[in-house]
Each structure stands twice: as C-alpha cells, then as structure tokens.
Structure 1
Amino acid sequence: MKIKLLFVALLATHISFAQKKPNVIVILADDLGYADLGCYGSEIPTPNLDKLAQNGVRLTNFYNTARCCPTRAALLTGVYSHQAGIGHMMDDKGADHPAYRGHLNETSVTIAEVMKTAGYFTAMTGKWHVGQAAGTVPWKRGFDRSLNAPAGGFYYGDGKNAKVFLNGEALENDSDKLPKNWYSTDLWTDFGLRFIDEAAAEKKPFMLYLAHNAPHFPLQAPEEDIAKFRGKYLQGWEKIREQRYAKQLKLGLIDPSWKLPPANPNIPKWESLSEQEKKRYDDMMAIYAAVIYRLDKSIGDLVEGLKKRGVFDDTVILFVSDNGGNAEPGMEGRYEGDKPGNAQSTVFLGQGWAEAACTPFWAYKHHTHEGGISSPGIISWPNGILASRNGKFEKQPAHIIDIMATLVDLGGAKYPTTFAGQAIQPLEGTSLKPAFGGKSINRKSPIFWEHEGNRAIRDGKWKLVAEKTEKWQLYDVEKDRTELNDLFDKQPEIAKKLVVQYEEWYKRVGAEEYDKTFKWFYDYDKAKKQAVSGK
C-alpha cells in the first residue's frame, strides 16, 4: 500500500511539473567563434559554460546568419532576417526594398510579444541592434522590462559609445540607477536578475533575452584579467588552431573525417613575425581571451543567482552566438590606445586569431561557409532534460530561426496569424524541444542563408554553398563539414535540386544582389582549392 501511495505521489509531482511553464533564458554572445569555449575546444577557461554543457546538451550543428543584426532579427522573430526587414544591417533602402529596411517590420512578431500572450513576464538586457534609431525598441516590441544598448560598441560607462536605456529611459552612464564603475558584461546579468525578481513578485514565469556584446570589438576587459593570458599566445595562431582541433577530436565534438583545412595564405606564418609583432598579437589575443573569460564569469553569476532564487532547475537556458569569429578588418586587426584593452582603446581580434576562433572550419563572420555560420549551442534544463542526456552531443542541424518555435513549444504559447491588426508571416523555424530528449525535430524544410551575396542551403547532410564571386559547391557535411571535397559535379541531381530550392527561397524572402566583396577572403578560397587539389 505504501509503495502504491508513493507511486501516486510521484506521478502527481510529475504531472504538476509537466503542466508548469518553465522559465526561459536565451543568451546570445557576439562574435564568439565555434572553438572559443572550453567545451568546444578552446584553451580559454570557461568553467561555467562548460558545466552547463556537462549537465545539459551540446548542439554540434547550430547555425546563425553570419552577422549580428540579421541573427538578432531572426532570433527575435522566428522568420528569416530578410522577412523581418533586416536582410543586411541598419541601412534603410526604402519602401521598394522591404527586406532591407534596417529595422524589424510589423509583419513579424517578437518572442516577447508571443510569450506575453502565454502569461510570461518578458525582459531583455544587452545589445538590441534591430533598429532603435528607426523607433523599433524593446519596450514597444513586447518586453515588460529592458536595459539595452541600441547597438553595442562599448564595455565601460566611460567608453565613447556607451549609451543605455532602462525601460525606455535614456540614462546617464553614471546614473545612480546603475552600479558604479560598471562593466557591460556584468551589467546585463545584474539587471537580468533584477527583472527576474520582478517576475517572481508578479508570480509569473519569465522569459529573459540576454544579448551580450561580448566578445565583439572594441575588445576591453579589466587589466587583471588580461594579465592572466598575456604571454600564453606567443606560441602563435597555427599552434593554437592545431591544439583546438586536437581537443575537439578528443572531446568527440567533431568527426575524425573532418580534416583541418589549409591555413589562409593571407595570414603570415607566426615564425615570420618580428618579436614586436608577436608581442602585439599576443596581447590582442590575451584581451580577447579576457573578454570571453569575463563572459563566462557572468554566466556563473547568472546561474548562481538563479539557484539562490530557487528557479535554476525550472529554467531552460539556451546559449548561442550571432556569427563566427571576426576577422575584420583583415590581418592587422586593430590595436589602438595608450593602454589597449581599457575603456578608451579599440582592439579588433584580426584574421590570424579569427582563424583559430573558427576551428575546425574555414571562413569567418560575413561568410556562409561553416566558419561564418557555425555557433556553439548549449541547452541546460535540469528538470526537463533527462540525466542520461547530460553531456551528450546533439547532431541534428538547428538554426537561429528555431528559437521562436522552441519558446512557443516550451511555453505553451500560440504563434499568431495576426497581431495588433496586422497579418503576421508564418513561422519559419522548427521547435528544438524534441532534441532535448534525443528525438527527431522533424524539420520540414531546408535551412537557407544569404548575406552580402554569400549564400547557402542545407538539407539533411547536403550543403550547397558559394561566396558572392564563386560558383556553387556541394558538400556532404556529415562526412566533410570542413568543406574540402566539392561534390557538385559528382552529384548533379542533388546539386540541381538544391539550386532550384535556393532560388525559390531567395525570391520568396526578397533577397537582393549585394555589391561588396572581401578580396582577402577570395584569395584564401583560391589557395584552398589549390591546396585541396594538390596543384
């Protein structure tokens, strides 16, 4: 009898949990490469994110849109960025170009607008970058609370681009509503937890969109953190890339059949550099590592805050990045200021280290080869992911457009056909919730990309891809995700089918030709082909 009563009690507890809406936190990093976390191959210590991965699920095939604004648009709306009005960046090309208005349009809804209808308290902190100058702001797009930067570009309150808005109010950077001497990575987490407290006071589940500007340029971090890494990168980018690749193989993150592509010929060999150049590049990477180290620390602060409030186990955390590692503006990067890394300096990572950030893939931010569109993807949900799944890899392809569908599924919400009297575009993404338990997500359509004329489509194991000036290439990305063996001529029927599907999508979302190319990258493409062919 006691056993029977215990079973009934456990069943009742399970039903109660099953009926309870989980809290949801979506964390978006900025310019974080596929290999920049410890649990994805990096030497940079990221113990807090590693622990989330160890006690959750790692996505090995999570994709973004290759650039910051389009990724944010797709994440927020669940449709492709062109459909949301941000096919490129913030420039408005006018009413004749609806895919390029530079701000979220009214035929899309945000995750906040949808989750509010399911009873959620909605909040966001961090980088907005989807059209604040045009009047598209978080407090008018469904967020109950927000502390946001219009477009990022700073870490400290005395930085030249520093500007924050609290629930629509522009604050002075030394406002008494903000902590003294704040650092943005910590600030976003601090206010995220404050907003969670407000959700608790209203007895509502919460949905927090935490959009970090780390590790985007201008790279800035406290000197004591930079000092932890200074000197550790004097071994050079080739060795760091090789070490990350070896660690990825050891982790089981990547398949041994994915060979490391040849190095970009535009990047000089480390040993060819002068001692002064080596010191400079070492310091640039040390600053970048410190920014990531502080990003991870803030994740630890967030988790600790959730645990103190007793809500961690009932909270789904999704962590991704908006594009691959950033090689802008090329090999030299930028290293400016009296004390590079402080609030008045400007540091860009540069192409040599971006190559390591994107290990094992090739290409970077802007590009639709794997290095530009591949992101770490970590899912944590102690009460929703079976312990047997902890630390597992999930290989099903997933995309940033899937975030909306996933949240709708988790929160028991309904994606609308109309909103505020406006017809809303159909959802493009697919819920990832089944993958939490190792089940198929049943994706119905291929995944598509277009950015600056760089384009791609992935359908199952097949990926068709080309940079703006290239001919289409076809890869079996289950066997060759580093895109070294072009099968376009060997699989003409598959290639033709994907080309047709891509062209149909391209027209449907209103994508247009783009007039910019990156010559340093195309030189790389030519050299890669030569290296692969042995000619």
Structure 2
Amino acid sequence: MLLIAADDLGYSDPGCYGGEIETPNLNRLAAGGIRFTQLYSSARCCPSRAALLTGQHPHKVGMGNMVGGQARSGYPGYEGRIGERVRFLPGILREGGYTTLMAGKWHLGEPGPLARGFDEFYGMLHGFDSFWDASKYTRLPGGRPEIPSRAPFYATDAITDHALSFLGGARRTAGKPWFLYLAYNAPHFPLHAPRELIDKYQSVYEQGWDLIREKRFERMRKLGLIDPRWRLPERSIVGPNRVSNLNGWAAKQNPAWADIPADRRKDLARRMAVFAAMVDRMDWNIGRVVADLESKGELENTLILFCSDNGSCAEWDPWGFDLRSGPDNVLHAGDRLLEMGQPGTYHSYGSGWANVGNTPWRLYKHYTHEGGISGPTIAHWPAGLRGRPGGTGNQPWHFIDVLPTLASVAGVRAPEECAGVNMAPMFGGARVRRGPLFWEHEGSRAVREGKWKLTAVYPRGQWELYDMEADRVELSNVAASHPERVRQMAAQWEAWARANGAIPWIWDPPYPAGTE
C-alpha cells in the first residue's frame, strides 16, 4: 500500500481537478482510478497528520493545534504532543506482517517515526524548511546509509530517491507486503524550485489570479467535479489571522488583479510560478514511484491513495511573505525576480493565489469552510477498485477514516479507540453509512451531517448553515431560516467538542463566551 500526502496542495491545483499545472502522473492515476471529491482533512498540518495516522480526532490525542504550539495545562486537546501509548497506522500494519516505510515530512513531534512503527525513515522531522539544504533532512535509524543526491540537492527528489531505495529493500523479503507513507513537503513554503521549471510557468500566471480562477472553474464543470447549480464565488476575503488582524487585511477581499500595480503583479506571478514548479516536480517524482511499481509488476495490486493535508495556504495576506513566516514582504523587481525560489530565498504566495488553489471554495487552510478542509484525493488500485475507471466518488469522509480503511484492506484490525469508519466498501462501489463529521481549529469549527454543514470562522464567528448539495460553495447562509437545525447541530458539535477535548479551548474568547 502507498499513501501519498502533498502539503498545502489546493483542491483545484492538479490537472485532473481542473488546474493548469502539468500533473500527467496524477492525471494517469485518476484516469485509472477514482477521484474523491469529499475527503476532508483537519484544516492544518499537525492536526491533519494526527488524524490520518491515528484514526482519532486530533484533539483526542492532544494535537488540536500544532506540535508544541501554545500548550497549556488543563487543555488536554492542545498539548502539542501525542502520548506514547497512542497507536499509529504503521505500528498496526507492522503487527500485521507489513514492512513499514516513510519518506517525507513527519511533523508530529516526539516520539518520532520509528517509535510509531516505521522501519525506515528519511525526511524532515519538523514542519517546513529549505528544499535546497540537505542538512534539514534526517535518515533513521541512525547509521543507515543515505542515498547520494544528485546535484544540486532538492528535497522532493531526495525524498523520492529514498522511497525507491526503501521499496527495493522491502522486496528482498519475498512475499512480505509493504506500506509506504510518502509525505512530500511540497508545495508548502518556503517556495523553492528549479529555475527552468519556474520559467515554464511565468507567462501562465502573468494572466492573473482572476482569469486563472475562472478558467479552473470552467474546466471543473467540464470534468464533472462540481454541480451545475453552483456558481463561482467572488474572491474570498483574506480572513482573520495573526498578521492580517494587524495590517488591516482581515476583512478585506483579495484585490482584483487589474487593480494591482504592474511591478507587484510581476512579483506575484513569479511566486505562483514557483509554487506550480514545485507541484510539477512532485508529480514527476510520483511518476518515478509509479514506474518503479509497474516495472516490478506491483502496480496492479498496490492501493495508492493520494491526498493533501489541508487546503491552500493563504498566509498571511495577498502579497505573501518573505524572509520568514510573518508580516515581512519584499517586492521583487528586475533581476531579483529571477532569484525567487533559489537557494537562500524564502517566500510564500499569499491569499490571492491560495483562493485560486481552492477553486471554487471559500477561505483556506486554518479555516473550516470548504477551502480549508477539502483537498484532491485519488485512489488507484486496478485489482481492487470496481466501476468505471476515471470516475468520481462523492461520499463525504474524513482523514480519521483512512486508518480503519487501510487496515481493512490489509486484513488487520483497527484499534478499538479508533474514531474513524472503514470506508473500504467505497472502493467496490458501495455507499457506507457514515455519521456526522466534526472539526475545530483555532476556534473555527464545523459539523457536517448529511447535506447540512454548520460552520463558523474563528472564536468570535457566528454559526453559518449551508445546504451542501445545493450550495457547497457556501454562498447562501440559511441559518436564519433554520434556527432549530442550527441549535440541534450546534449542540451536536459541542457534545463532540467536550468529548474529544476541543473545548475548553485555548483561544480568545473562551468557549462559550464569558466562561473561564
């Protein structure tokens, strides 16, 4: 089994989801498999990875926020550390006879990947860092050989080199199944990519984010990924965050491309070109893994599940940041544009391009509107999938369901404490009875039951109610028309939040307002 996770990849970024970025290998997997339209993450890196690998809601295992982030005694859902006794997917599969391999981004703190059940690891133990600096990447167990990197070192290539080496080693034990968790840190900031790939996309993004977003929306319609009743929302607001709350962007809409000065448009187009180049290179590397499986006769009977850990990253305003994650922005011009994405640089692409990445949804990573929790998802398994290749699966499910689903495919038992549901029957074309889905991150919160979704932005946000069949783009808040449903779903959310440690929360104001 192969679980591939991209980092901050937007719903519409791959070509098979409407994007203009060249992703022939993901497109091939989608054409031979299923594109799922409603696999939901937990809105941000650490909570999503905790849900994915433990099958539990992130707060239940102490990861309601980030590793080490704002931990306070008395708030067990926000400890920033997962207890040593919590069982992880690789450990469960290893007990079932699997060789367990990981290459990529860990970002779940200590105990690390070996203690959680992986036999081999290469990658980044923390959350984000340079793609050009080999010293930021670790080989475990200590003393095991690293694969020599081509020059210059580039993390996405090196992660794949090690993944291929690990697979080669696993095959030396004949008949023993393997599980590979290939967790790319691309295309998360800092935005870094080979210059020739960046140049390939420069003119594409000089068209601007308004036109690119409209083109994606039309391609998504033609691909059957969105309901004909849905319309493209206006550009999202930037949204509240630790920077926009101070610089005045929080409640403002991302600006129209035509209203942005020409020098700023050049800078922004280059940022998005670097991001696209990162996705392009990640897809090329996925193709290397698929080719390896094919050459070894394993592609037919390997379940490949591809996903993204959250929606596109808007941090922290339309212009993006430089130097470090925060309020600093550098306007690049002239020859400095060509330096962007190269060693020694540090950029993000900002909220305008993140709004494009999440087409057609509203908001982004961090939030529980669709733009924060919806990502592209592909399952490819010729020997196990039923139905027409290239189709779509539209049933809502959640990252906590991945562990019991993969455990079922592997023929091993999921832990009793697992909160997820075995969704493997979907691979055979069946519909699975799935109860309500829940979220909380930084005070943004949501519950989804059937066609109804109740959501709110940040701790002070009021509940909004949406009919997800008629309006998954979340344009028509019908809370005022359905007060009893709002009360009932809010009570559901609160009961879940108390049972799982999402409340009491560490955010200001406390929940409910006025409590200590």
Normalised TM-score (structure 2): 0.89
Instruction: Output the aligned Cα RMSD.
Output: 1.9
1:475, distance to aligned residue in structure 2 (A): 0.8
CA deviation map 1:84-119 (0-9, x unaligned)? 221100226255332222122234211001101111
* Residue number in structure 2 paired with 1:202: 173
Contact 1:266–1:331 (CA under 8 A) maintained in structure 2? no
* Residue number in structure 2 paired with 1:297: 284
1:79, distance to aligned residue in structure 2 (A): 0.2
Output aligned runs, 1:53-64, within 5 Å. 53-64=30-41
Structure-1 separation of matches of 2:79 and 2:67 = 7
* Residue number in structure 1 paired with 2:378: 378
CA deviation map 1:501-531 (0-9, x unaligned)? 10000101111334369xxxxxxxxxxxxxx
Say which SS state the counterpart of residue 303 (structure 2) adopts: strand
* Residue number in structure 2 paired with 1:238: 210
1:153, distance to aligned residue in structure 2 (A): 2.3
Report whether the alignment pairs 1:91 with 2:68: yes
Output aligned runs, 1:11-410, within 5 Å. 24-91=1-68, 93-94=71-72, 96-131=74-109, 135-158=110-133, 162-169=135-142, 178-203=149-174, 204-264=176-236, 265-335=252-322, 339-386=339-386, 388-410=387-409
Say which SS state the counterpart of residue 202 (structure 2) adopts: coil
Identity %: 42
* Residue number in structure 2 paired with 1:528: none
Contact 1:448–1:502 (CA under 8 A) maintained in structure 2? yes
Contact 2:271–2:348 (CA under 8 A) maintained in structure 1? yes
Structure-2 separation of matches of 1:356 and 1:169 = 42
Structure-1 separation of matches of 2:128 and 2:210 = 29
1:158, distance to aligned residue in structure 2 (A): 2.8
Contact 1:368–1:450 (CA under 8 A) maintained in structure 2? yes
CA deviation map 1:179-211 (0-9, x unaligned)? 543311122222112111222112310111111
Contact 1:86–1:103 (CA under 8 A) maintained in structure 2? yes
Report whether the alignment pairs 1:474 with 2:465: yes
1:299, distance to aligned residue in structure 2 (A): 1.0
Contact 2:8–2:311 (CA under 8 A) maintained in structure 1? yes
Which letter does structure 2 place at the counterpart of 1:383? A
1:439, distance to aligned residue in structure 2 (A): 0.5
Say which SS state the counterpart of residue 216 (structure 1) adopts: coil
CA deviation map 1:262-283 (0-9, x unaligned)? 2234322211122211111111
Contact 2:78–2:506 (CA under 8 A) maintained in structure 1? no
Contact 1:127–1:150 (CA under 8 A) maintained in structure 2? yes
Distance 1:389 1:184, change over 3 A: same
Structure-2 separation of matches of 1:364 and 1:514 = 21
CA deviation map 1:298-350 (0-9, x unaligned)? 11111001111211111001001011111102111025695111121111011
Structure-1 separation of matches of 2:384 and 2:144 = 39
Which letter does structure 1 place at the counterpart of 2:403? M
Structure-1 separation of matches of 2:85 and 2:231 = 43
Higher CA-based Rg: 1
Structure-2 separation of matches of 1:497 and 1:515 = 24
Aligned residues: 477
Structure-2 separation of matches of 1:170 and 1:446 = 46
1:142, distance to aligned residue in structure 2 (A): 0.5
Which letter does structure 1 place at the counterpart of 2:28? K
Structure-1 separation of matches of 2:73 and 2:260 = 50
1:389, distance to aligned residue in structure 2 (A): 2.5
Structure 1 window deviating more from structure 2 (262-271 vs 39-48): it is 262-271
Contact 2:2–2:304 (CA under 8 A) maintained in structure 1? yes
CA deviation map 1:457-488 (0-9, x unaligned)? 01111101011222111111011001111222
CA deviation map 1:35-57 (0-9, x unaligned)? 11111110111111011001000
Structure 2 gaps, min length 5 = 237-251, 323-329, 510-516
Structure-2 separation of matches of 1:176 and 1:302 = 16
Structure-1 separation of matches of 2:441 and 2:143 = 32
Contact 1:215–1:292 (CA under 8 A) maintained in structure 2? yes
Structure-1 separation of matches of 2:35 and 2:213 = 21
Match of 1:438 among 412, 426, 429: 429
Which letter does structure 1 place at the counterpart of 2:190? P
Distance 1:349 1:507, change over 3 A: same
CA deviation map 1:10-59 (0-9, x unaligned)? xxxxxxxxxxxxxx111111011111111111011111101100100010
CA deviation map 1:237-286 (0-9, x unaligned)? 11111111111111100001122112234322211122211111111111
Structure 1 window deviating more from structure 2 (369-378 vs 490-499): it is 490-499
Say which SS state the counterpart of residue 347 (structure 1) adopts: coil
Say which SS state the counterpart of residue 228 (structure 1) adopts: helix
Which letter does structure 1 place at the counterpart of 2:412? A
Which letter does structure 2 place at the counterpart of 1:47? P
Structure-1 separation of matches of 2:508 and 2:276 = 31
* Residue number in structure 2 paired with 1:513: 505
Contact 2:64–2:78 (CA under 8 A) maintained in structure 1? yes
Distance 1:39 1:55, change over 3 A: same
Structure 1 gaps, min length 5 = 1-23, 418-425, 518-535
Structure-2 separation of matches of 1:312 and 1:267 = 43
Contact 1:63–1:399 (CA under 8 A) maintained in structure 2? yes
* Residue number in structure 1 paired with 2:244: none
